Amino acid sequence: MAYSAMRTIFLGFALLLAGPRAASAQAPAKPAAPKPAGIAWATNRPLTWADFQGRPKFGEPEAALTSADLLSDAKCVDFVFSATVTPTFDPITSWVRDAKAASPALLRHEQLHFDLAEVYARHLRQKLKTATLDCQKLQPAFGRLTQAVYDQWSDEENRYDIDTNHGLNAAKQAVWEKKVQQQLAEMAAFAQ
């Protein structure tokens, strides 16, 4: 089958409470956690081609593109730190060139990009659970911690595309599918 290479866009985003609300024990109201934009990762909710609603830019050689993000929210209430991390798929910026002609193998490749977002969301949740973050200086510490995980995620996504030749190498794709499922199972304690 001849289809072009795929790639993934990574967007690092951390919503932080800054200023007096983050450090003040007197803030009576708890701010609401951000609502995930797009589709939140879920075990029982695989992607379908209908989810890919964006359009490729003129001259894009890829057959499909997955845009995923880790939405993070950190807060301190009464000087007690808590955080949430939600991997999301953005339908508006994700696209498939021709959904009717796209193969199931291509969709599995794109799904695994999104599954890798969940793997790294679990890594970030694990780090946040074990980190000692000072509510007085939340933003710099939280930012450094999340950036380190985003960088690891980006590197892994690049390795995945290179190793599988963007999903064209079926044997390597199968190895990665098994590897990612194993990582999800090993990190099950940090699933949401």
* Cβ atoms of 46 and 111 closer than 8 Å: yes
Q: What's this model's pTM, rounded to 2 decimal places?
A: 0.79
Residue type, 45: R
Residue 58 lies in a domain: yes
Is pLDDT at 140 greater than 90 in this prediction? no
Query: Quick one: pLDDT at residue 71?
Result: 93
Query: Quick one: pLDDT at residue 62?
Result: 87
13-17, 58-62, 117-121, 135-139: range with lowest mean pLDDT:
13-17
Residue numbers of the domain that contains 29: 7-190
pLDDT tens-digit series, residues 2-46: 222 222 333 322 222 222 222 222 333 344 445 446 999 999 999
Query: Quick one: pLDDT at residue 136?
Result: 80
Residue 76 lies in a domain: yes
* Cβ atoms of 125 and 52 closer than 8 Å: no
Residue 178 lies in a domain: yes
Residue 31 lies in a domain: yes
Number of domains present in the structure of the chain: 1
Residue 2 lies in a domain: no
Residue 111 lies in a domain: yes
pLDDT tens-digit series, residues 69-115: 999 988 888 888 889 999 999 999 999 999 999 999 999 999 999 99
Among candidate residues 164, 181, 159, 39, the one with its CA nearest the CA of residue 105:
164
Bridge partners (DSSP) of residue 71 are 13, 86
Residue 146 lies in a domain: yes
